[in-house]
Amino acid sequence: MTDIEPDDTVDARGAACPGPLMDLIGAIRGAESGDVVRLLSDNEGSLTDVPEWAEEAGNELLAVEELDDHNAFYVEKA
Amino acid sequence: MTERVIIVGGGTGGSVLANDLADRLEPELDAGDVEVTLINDGPDHVYKPVWLYVPFGQREPADGRRALDELVDDAVDLRIDRVSAIDTDSQRLRFDGDGPALAYDHLVLATGSTLEPEQIPGLAEGGHDYYSESGSTALRDELLSFTEGELVLSVIGTPHMCPAAPLEFVFMADDWFRERGLREDVEITYTYPIQRVHGNPHIAEWARPIMEERGINVETFFNAESVDPDAETITSMEGTELDYDLLVSIPPHGGVDLIEAAGLGDDGWVDVDKHTLEAEAAENVYALGDTADTGVPNAGSVAHYQAGVVGQRLASEIRDRPATATYDGKTLCFIETGMDAASFVEFDYERPPSPAPPSEKLHWSKLAYNESYWLTARGLL
């Protein structure tokens, strides 16, 4: 468990690739610098495309929390 | 007691469904036991795939317009009006103006996609599109006289209508400039929001080598943040800036506001069971086509197949039988790979796409289907 408090949560569980990443990008687009967005995704592809995009965009992936049937990604907007 | 079915939206999904029900429920309609009403905010049905060809001077917007009252069976009540609110508790629709509310027993939402270029500063002023009639003619005016410079096609909004169309546009532009001896003077760049050139990995894997072979520049992980129409630059959230002389974008898309206001889903897309197409947040409500948030492409073929499923389910419900028809994710797309060659894909929730080798025959198949589409809208094909 992480104690990071997100400013926004995007629940993309059930969405097919690339839906979760696009939902995260949409939330980051509307966020302020320093805000943390939590993405909930049960898509395996998110485990690779979320870290890749975060690095490309200069945002920080603070943590990936492995839960029962999905993962939670915490991304801080640069 | 007459059972009332109301369909909101007279695009592909709504029109095919209206005609499907007119045929399937003919005895009940004749007896006055069932009423089917199709509501659209304008008198015409619009076939959007025509717009891809307009900028190249090959089709006219009028080729994609027909009056709904010529396409929809006379057994269907056609109402040209704009729904302003949906109350799923009392099962009523409200309209712009002071008209009385309309009660439904079964509601189908097929309101489709709208363009929201205003989400990106500068895009409406600096960019062109072929996802609207006015956009396709404005782009035609630019493209037909474009003989040199940087042509940038930027996919900004996803999901968007016809996921194949951005690839088609750059493949067609490449071929079109090549045929006219101008390709060496025109740089073509394609941008996409994720790490590959298409949302579907199988289509991306197929398309990328073709783009390399054709000399089409690719920028992935490019999510447009702003456009500067004066400097003619487009900048991404990832920090990349591209110069352009002609910017063609796939603008952000959204559904209609009344869906979110009714609590049926976010951004105008209805949360549905992806097999039954029933709304998750309300009873007796279906959604289809772009409006249904199923994760499959926003494509006319999807709306067409889903309309058949919803038609069967509604007929079963009206006849007090168990509704067993389900949607399996079936999607079918032709993909133009030039001005006289095309590929084809067919896939569903379980089977991924495998693009067919491009051929002239598939190109003519696409054009032939575009002509015979009006039979689909009439519920005949």
Tell me the C-alpha distance between B244 and B87, whole Å: 47
Mean pLDDT of B119-132: 97
Look at residue A1 and tell me whether its pLDDT is greater than 80: no
Binning chain B into helix, strand and coil, the percentages to the nearest 5 are 35, 25, 40
Chain B contact for A37 (CB, 8 A cutoff): no
Q: What is the pLDDT of residue A52?
A: 95
Q: What is the pLDDT of residue B198?
A: 95
Q: Evaluate whether B153 touches B248 at the Cβ level (below 8 Å).
A: yes
| pLDDT tens digit sequence for A15-67 | 877 889 999 999 999 899 999 999 999 998 899 999 999 999 999 999 999 99
Q: Which residues pair with B236 in a beta bridge?
A: B224
Q: Which domain holds residue A17?
A: 8-76
Across the interface, of B195, B201, B295, the residue whose CB is closest to A19 is B295
Question: Is residue A3, in this structure, part of any structural domain at all?
Answer: no
For residue A50, give the 3-state DSSP assignment.
helix
For residue B188, give the 3-state DSSP assignment.
strand
B3-113+255-318 topology per CATH: FAD/NAD(P)-binding domain (3.50.50)
Size of interface A-B (CB pairs under 8 A): 40
Domain count, chain A: 1
Across the interface, of B201, B237, B295, the residue whose CB is closest to A57 is B237
Q: What is the pLDDT of residue B293?
A: 94
Question: Is residue A58, in this structure, part of any structural domain at all?
Answer: yes
Question: Is residue A51, in this structure, part of any structural domain at all?
Answer: yes
Question: Is residue A37, in this structure, part of any structural domain at all?
Answer: yes
Chain B contact for A19 (CB, 8 A cutoff): yes
Look at residue B338 and tell me whether its pLDDT is greater than 90: yes
Question: Is residue A2, in this structure, part of any structural domain at all?
Answer: no
Q: What is the pLDDT of residue A73?
A: 97
H-type alpha helices, A1-78: 19-29, 46-57
| pLDDT tens digit sequence for B155-187 | 998 899 999 999 999 999 999 999 999 999 999
Q: What is the pLDDT of residue B62?
A: 97
User: In chain A, which residue's Cα lies nearest the Cα of B349?
Assistant: A16
Using a CB-CB distance cutoff of 8 angstroms, which residues of chain A are in contact with residue B295?
A: 14-16, 19
CATH code for the domain defined by B119-252:
3.50.50.60
* CB-neighbour burial class of residue B351 (10 A; exposed 0-12, middle 13-18, buried 19+): exposed
Question: Is residue A24, in this structure, part of any structural domain at all?
Answer: yes
Q: pLDDT grade, residue B97 (50/70/90)?
A: confident
Look at residue B59 and tell me whether its pLDDT is greater than 80: yes
B258-262 contacts at long range (C-beta below 8 A, 24 or more positions apart): B258/B83, B258/B84, B258/B85, B258/B86, B258/B111, B259/B86, B259/B109, B259/B111, B259/B291, B261/B85, B261/B86, B262/B85, B262/B86, B262/B87, B262/B88
Look at residue B264 and tell me whether its pLDDT is greater than 90: yes
* CA nearest neighbour of B333 among B307, B298, B375: B298
Tell me the C-alpha distance between B376 and B381, whole Å: 5
Residue B74 backbone dihedrals phi, psi, to 5 degrees: -65, -20
Taking the C-alpha atoms of B139, B145, B146 and B152 in order, what is their torsion angle to the nearest 10 degrees?
A: 0
| pLDDT tens digit sequence for B222-262 | 999 999 999 999 999 999 999 999 999 999 999 999 999 99
Question: Is residue A1, in this structure, part of any structural domain at all?
Answer: no
| pLDDT tens digit sequence for B42-57 | 999 999 999 999 999 9
Chain B contact for A49 (CB, 8 A cutoff): yes
Q: Which residues pair with B347 in a beta bridge?
A: B331
> Domain coordinates of chain B in residue numbers?
3-113+255-318, 119-252
Gap from A29 CA to chain B (nearest CA, Å): 8
**Would the pTM count as exceeding 0.90?**
yes
For residue B30, give the 3-state DSSP assignment.
helix
Active site residue A18: no
Q: What is the pLDDT of residue B172?
A: 98
In this prediction, the answer to ipTM > 0.90 reads yes
Tell me the C-alpha distance between B140 and B209, whole Å: 28
Task: Tell me the CATH number at A42.
Answer: 3.30.110.40
